[in-house]
A = this chain, B = another copy of it.
Amino acid sequence: MKSKLLLALLTVTLAGTAAAQAKVEDAIKFRQSGYVFMAWNMQRIKANVEGTYNKDEVIKAANAIQAIANSGMGALYVPGSDKGKGWEDTRVKPELFTNKEGVGKVAGAFVKEANEMAKVAATGDAAAAKEQFGKLGGTCKGCHDDFKVKK
């Protein structure tokens, strides 16, 4: 009887641990997906502001970045996701989980410039889009410098 109870408890604990692990891995995979999808859209805006400007394509790309930036990805930095593998090993620095003020600053700057990018894209002004693209890219870099391990 006792051993059965112990076995049952152990099974529940292992199942709980496996579920928590899966949750961490999913969270890392989801955030990596968000960043990489934004990277595609940054590439598209870059190609447009450096080459032939297609207003519609820039609008689509800027809108995608804006919506992802405002989606609340902070929720994907779940406890325990400072290490782990989503699509690949996370490169988040431990500071992201401790330096709340610093994270708030870079995240706020990113959302602000992403919102502005969508606004500027809607006007179709290629020169303004190029300038805003630079500002937006700066906020990506700002966060990477502080909170992402370099390859």
Interface positions of A (Cβ within 8 A of B): 26, 29-30, 32-34, 36-37, 39-41, 57, 60-61, 63-64, 66-68, 70-72, 76, 87-88
Contact = CB atoms under 8 A, between A and B. Distances in A.
Contacts of A29: 36
Contacts of A76: 40
Given A33-B40, A61-B71, A64-B67, 16 more contacts: A30-B37, A30-B39, A33-B33, A33-B36, A34-B40, A37-B37, A40-B76, A60-B70, A60-B71, A63-B67, A63-B70, A64-B68, A64-B70, A64-B71, A66-B67, A68-B68
A33 B88 CA distance: 13
7 contacts: A30-B39, A33-B36, A40-B76, A63-B70, A66-B67, A67-B67, A87-B87
Given A63-B71, A64-B68, A87-B87, A30 B34 contact: no
Contacts of A64: 67-68, 70-71
B87 A72 contact: no
A26 B41 CA distance: 12
User: Which 3 pairs from chain A and chain B are nearest by CB?
Assistant: A67-B67, A30-B40, A33-B36
Nearest to A66: B67
Most B CB contacts (10 A, CB to CB) among A60, A61, A88 go to: A60
A26 to B, nearest CB: 8
Contacts of A32: 33
